[in-house]
Amino acid sequence: MSKALVITGGRPLSGSVEIPSAKNSVLPLLAASVLCTQPVRLTRVPRLSDVMRCTAILEAIGFSARREGTDILVEPAALRSANLPTGPVSSMRASVLFLAPVLARMGRVETCMPGGCRLGPRPIDIHLDGLVHMGATVKWKADRLILEAPRGLHGIDYTLRFPSVGATETLLLAAACARGATVLRGAACEPEIRDLAEFLKACGASITGAGGPVICISGRRELGGAVFSPLPDRIVAATVACAVASAGGQATLRRCDPFAFSPVLAALQQAGCEVELRGAEEVCVARTGQLKGIGRVFTGVYPGFPTDAAPLLAAALLCAASESSIEDTVFENRFSCSAGFAAMGAEVEAAGHVLEIRPAKRLHGAHVRAGDLRGGAALALAALAAEGETEIAEAEHILRGYEDPARLLRDLGAKTAQKNETVS
């Protein structure tokens, strides 16, 4: 059973939304809970399919991971298995984050390659290279990856060749329970890295510098547990801001960190939106007139313009009065949504890492397909500005990162529905 999102465009948005906890924080925190010998409670966790995949991995290796209202409670266990389950691993990139904790606990981990959005090649060489430097051996048996470290992992002084978010998280998790001290240089600086470090510290780890390029970790053999509230989702916040830019109207974003997605707010402001900060956790975004193009935007690692928000900004700029282009420097295939944009009447051209956007007079409803999470969300934003009805097939990609996208937009006055489609 596939899902579809149906949106009837042409209504300006109005209202206020609370931003949920960040998917990209919750997933590493669930992986980190493998290291904990006491219960872990994560609060305000959205019901995302990727979160369910993580709890399925935890259950498969022996943990109890259950929902209690909006919390997730993970209870410690003697690990039953060092084999990660193929289903959830092969459908989610973040499953790679379970490698280091299971290896640290069991001295062994076996898995297939992680799946996830097809944004271009997504190797895990930095994860593996760092773990090898910490004492792990890596073997491939057909399509199974086996890591072993029977005598445990040890601390290292290691420079990442690229500030990969996932590899920084892998090495932070490995170092937290390794023998001795670790220094990670060239680390990713994304806010979700700092959140993971704060969680590990709450469980007893000793970490300084997370959120900057050099992280120092003093290894502990055992971590306790914690009650932890993950940070707000800066990409969901960017989605709501870009939705307003696309549809017109205004929205107040509550419980967000405006500075964590300030490059998105700055781009929208440059295009002609009004952005009003209301304290540390609230921002109001409004669009009354037509937007103008903003030239070329480059995505980059934090604090640059987030790659995940590139298709969202593109959707907002489709009907701007002049040209824009977005170059994604992180992934090769960020703009698979361009075919859907074009089907709605947009004047777009995707070539390599770049999406060129020329002014479209108007957009119209169409039958389109979500190819990946953020590209699918971007089609929904374009649909808000289109005349008539748009049906976005394969909306399950969108549900990986948005609990209920139809309701999120409906709460702001959009006409939306989610429907189940029978696949013949």
Q: Does 162 bind ligand UD1 (CB under 6 A)?
A: yes
Binding letters toward ligand UD1, positions 355-384, x by CB under 6 A = ------------------------------
Show contacts with ligand UD1 in window 57-116 (CB under 6 A). 93-94
Closest CA to 171 of 97, 242, 232, 266: 97
- In a 13 Å sphere around the CA of 151, the CA atoms on its Cβ side amount to 6
CB of 94 to ligand UD1, least distance (A): 4
> Which of 123, 150, 180, 352 forms a contact with ligand UD1 (CB under 6 A)?
123
127 lies in the site for ligand UD1, by CB under 6 A: yes
CA atoms within 13 A on the CB side of 56: 16
Asked whether position 130 contacts ligand UD1 by CB under 6 A, the answer is: no
If the CB atoms of residues 26 and 153 are measured against ligand UD1, the closer one turns out to be 26
CB-nearest residue to ligand UD1: 166
Nearer to ligand UD1, 243 or 330 (CB): 330
Interface with ligand UD1 includes 147 (CB under 6 A)?
Answer: no
- Residue placing its CB nearer to ligand UD1 in the complex, 192 or 394: 192
Q: Which residue, 27 or 45, has its beta carbon nearer to ligand UD1?
A: 27
CA angle 110, 112, 118 (to 5 degrees): 145
| Residues with active-site annotation | 117
Residues 6+ apart with CB under 8 A from 108: 82, 102, 146, 147, 148, 149, 150
User: Which of 49, 95, 111, 164 is in the footprint of ligand UD1 by CB under 6 A?
Assistant: 164
Q: In this complex, which beta carbon is closest to ligand UD1, that of residue 4 or of residue 128?
A: 128
235: which 2 tokens?
A: 């990409």
Buried b (16+ CB within 10 A) or exposed e, 106-144: bbbbbbbbbbbbebeebebebbbbbbebbbbeeeeeeee
Is residue 180 near ligand UD1 by the rule CB under 6 A?
A: no
DSSP code for 210 = B
Residue closer to ligand UD1 by CB (options 166, 365) is 166
Residue 259 touches ligand UD1, criterion: CB under 6 A: no
From the CB of 330, what's the least distance to ligand UD1, in Å?
5
Binding residues with ligand UD1: total (CB under 6 A): 21
Residue among 307, 324, 336, 416 that touches ligand UD1 (CB under 6 A): 307
- Min separation Cβ 388 and ligand UD1, Å: 32
Which of 2, 47, 81, 125 lies at the binding interface for ligand UD1 (CB under 6 A)?
Answer: 125
Amino acid found at 328: D
Residue 12 token pair? 């300006």
From 55-63, 160-168, 241-249, 345-353, give the range in contact with ligand UD1 by CB under 6 A: 160-168
Give backbone dihedrals phi and psi of 296, rounded to 5 degrees, phi first. -95, 130
Smaller CB separation from ligand UD1, 128 or 286: 128
Dig out the tokens for 151 from the structure.
């005598």
Among 32, 57, 106, 124, binds ligand UD1 (CB under 6 A): 124
> Is there a contact between 375 and 395 (Cβ–Cβ < 8 Å)?
no
Cβ proximity to ligand UD1: between 6 and 72 the closer is: 72
d(CA 194, CA 60): 28
Under the binding rule (CB under 6 A), the answer on residue 215 touching ligand UD1 is no
Q: How many Å is the Cα radius of gyration of the chain?
A: 21
Q: Which residues contact 411 (CB under 8 A, 6 or more apart)?
A: 15, 17
**In this structure, are residues 170 and 127 in contact, taking their beta carbons and an 8 Å threshold?**
yes
Contact pick of 166, 359, 365, 375 for ligand UD1 (by CB under 6 A): 166
- List, in sequence order, every beta strand (DSSP E) within 347-414: 347-351, 354-358, 367-369, 389-393
- Sign of the Cα torsion 135, 136, 138, 141 reads positive
Q: Among 330, 343, 346, 392, which residue interacts with ligand UD1 (rule: CB under 6 A)?
A: 330
Q: Where along the sequence are the contacts to ligand UD1 (CB under 6 A)? A: 24, 27, 93-94, 121-127, 162, 164-167, 192, 307-308, 330-331
